[in-house]
Amino acid sequence: MPTNRITMRQIRETLRLHLSAGLSFNEVGRNLKISKSAAAKYASLARAAGVDWEAAQALTDQELEARLYKPALPRSSHQLAPDFATVHQELKRAGVTLQLLWEEYAKDNALAYKYTSFCVKYREWALGLKRSMRQTHIAGEKLFVDYAGQTVPLIDATTGEITQAQIFVATFGASNYTYACATARQTTADWIGAQVQALEFFGGVPRLIVPDQARALIKNPDTYDPQPNRLYDEFATHYGCALLAARPAHPRDKPKVENAVLVVERWILARLRNRRFFHLVELNKAIALLLTDLNQRAFKKFPGNRRSAFEQLDAPALRALPAKRFEVFRWKSAKVNIDYHVEFDGHYYSVPHALVRTTVELRVTATLVECFSSNQRVACHPLSPLRGKHTTTPEHMPASHRAHLEWTPQKLIDWGLRIGVSTAAIVTWQLEHRPHPEQGYRACLGMQRLARQYTPARLEAACTRAMAIRAPNLRSVTNILKNGMDRQQSLPATKPGNLPAHENIRGSDYFH
């Protein structure tokens, strides 16, 4: 309590400069040569006493001092002490300060602590909490994620083989509201898929997600500037949140999830230790039932439970989930082969032929293979499990190759019959004995070129000789024409309309 005129003058000047002139506490402090905190304290006392600048002018120093510094009254500690557990929870709300909470506590409360005592006693109370609990977490700000050290055995019902299911845990800093689920491994897809499920469980998106610097998530681990991999970065962009990876070997960067992992191990995994599980789905159903009980267990030092704290603190501060769920996918670089196809898991997918010999990026989901060149999508195909097969879009082919698609096997055989039975026999052989249909089409189109170059009659004669020497392929026919061997005496021509008997000839009916 002030006892001299200098202090009362400072109080009056503080009220004038701050309440009337609108100066900040910093500016008031510089003008009066007092600290910023002293100026704030005088203004706070005036607010608590309901004294503005006009009222202060009408009061003498003694009256003003009496209004600001009320005499101590006999009171019980029970009446005096605020609920510091509630104060601690309220501090997690955005923008809430001890100053505001003290003003609300002291309003119309003649037995209230002074502001300084209020702060000192709160800090003494907070020292009684665990270190990890003394951190103040803003509502809806941080979601901490990690995997538990313990695993759960999964038994293959067919082979009896046992694998270890991994337990993913996520918890909010402010409310301690916790989510847990089992995944097969700790791959990038497992990590991100579990976080997608966690956000849907919570029903909203925090501002920050705090993971470990796991290799599955962070491409360049670093104490100061860790870089998430491409998929994790796209996950964060999709949900509109930021990623703040904890420093390696610094568990105190994420004490909330460290504690949540222990809680999950004690209250969920320990209760499942004697049960046998055969599928992840079965295990996750069991975890979900125990998770509900965990989140509804009453706090020991705070009012309510994880569920009620989440509904009061975190839930109102979360951003809404996007309309579409993030789909987990894989990125892979692939070289475009000379046949304008790229390979993924043994299947070949076409891209525009202009990209031959370049490298493209494949974005692979559970159903699609998308191809990107220079960050532009250039092709999209359904994911195929057929190894060694091709998926080709006609628009990706050169014009000359697209022309091949207009030729069906029957159409090619009919063309050969119009030239002659030997030409039709060669065409049929090409279609049957090439490893890929398009190779047969190309050989037949080569036959058409020879007909234009050497005349249909010479082509038929060359094909007759090729059949006679049992070499029914395009190269033999081409060499016969180049060397003029088609003009030499050959075997008697087969009657028109009938194919020559040959083990390689099946006839046009084979292609129906």
Of 154, 226, 212, 156, the closest CA to residue 185 belongs to 154
Instruction: Give the per-residue pLDDT at 133.
Output: 44
Please determine, for residue 357, whether its predicted confidence score (pLDDT) is greater than 60. yes
What's 59's DSSP letter? S
Instruction: Give the per-residue pLDDT at 129.
Output: 66
Say which residue, 122 or 185, is predicted with more confidence. Answer: 185
Query: What's the chain's average pLDDT?
Result: 84
Place of tokens 């209020």: 118
C-alpha to C-alpha distance for 321 and 238, rounded to whole angstroms: 10
Say which residue, 495 or 342, is predicted with more confidence. Answer: 342
What's 501's DSSP letter? P
Of 210, 203, 206, 209, the closest CA to residue 307 belongs to 203
C-alpha to C-alpha distance for 178 and 172, rounded to whole angstroms: 7
Which residues lie closer than 8 Å to 417 by C-beta, 6 or more apart? 423, 424
Instruction: Give the per-residue pLDDT at 494.
Output: 46
pLDDT digits 0-9 by tens, 292-309: 999 999 987 778 899 999
Instruction: Give the per-residue pLDDT at 251.
Output: 61
Arithmetic mean of pLDDT, 453-462: 93
Q: Which CATH superfamily is domain 142-317 in?
A: Ribonuclease H-like superfamily/Ribonuclease H (3.30.420.10)
Q: Residues 11, 53: contact at Cβ < 8 Å?
A: no
pLDDT digits 0-9 by tens, 127-156: 776 544 445 678 889 999 999 999 999 999
pLDDT digits 0-9 by tens, 488-498: 865 554 444 44
Of 156, 204, 209, the closest CA to residue 184 belongs to 156
**Residue 398: what residue type?**
P
**Residue 87: what residue type?**
V
Instruction: Give the per-residue pLDDT at 407.
Output: 65
Where is average pLDDT lowest: 126-135, 160-169, 331-340? 126-135
Strands 368-373 and 227-228: unpaired
Please determine, for residue 201, whether its predicted confidence score (pLDDT) is greater than 50. yes
Where is average pLDDT lowest: 273-287, 373-387, 405-419, 470-484? 405-419
C-alpha to C-alpha distance for 56 and 77, rounded to whole angstroms: 32
Alpha helices (H) along 112-213: 115-126, 131-134, 188-202
How much of the chain exceeds pLDDT 90, in percent? 43
Q: Residues 441, 412: contact at Cβ < 8 Å?
A: yes
Contacts 24+ apart (CB under 8 A), 188-194: 188/216, 188/217, 188/229, 188/231, 188/232, 189/328, 189/330, 190/166, 190/216, 191/216, 191/217, 191/232, 192/217, 192/231, 192/232, 192/235, 192/326, 192/328, 193/328, 194/145, 194/168, 194/170
Q: What is the CB neighbour count within 10 angstroms for residue 346?
A: 11
How much of the chain exceeds pLDDT 70, in percent? 87
Please determine, for residue 109, whether its predicted confidence score (pLDDT) is greater than 50. yes
* H or E segment and range at residue 182: strand 178-183
Return the domain boundaries, the chain: 5-68, 77-128, 142-317, 330-400, 407-511
Please determine, for residue 232, whether its predicted confidence score (pLDDT) is greater than 90. yes
218 — pLDDT class (breaks 50, 70, 90): very high
Instruction: Give the per-residue pLDDT at 78.
Output: 44
Instruction: Give the per-residue pLDDT at 458.
Output: 93
Instruction: Give the per-residue pLDDT at 511.
Output: 47
455 — pLDDT class (breaks 50, 70, 90): very high
75 — pLDDT class (breaks 50, 70, 90): very low
Please determine, for residue 181, whether its predicted confidence score (pLDDT) is greater than 90. yes
66 — pLDDT class (breaks 50, 70, 90): confident
Which residues lie closer than 8 Å to 456 by C-beta, 6 or more apart? 419, 420, 423
Instruction: Give the per-residue pLDDT at 316.
Output: 94
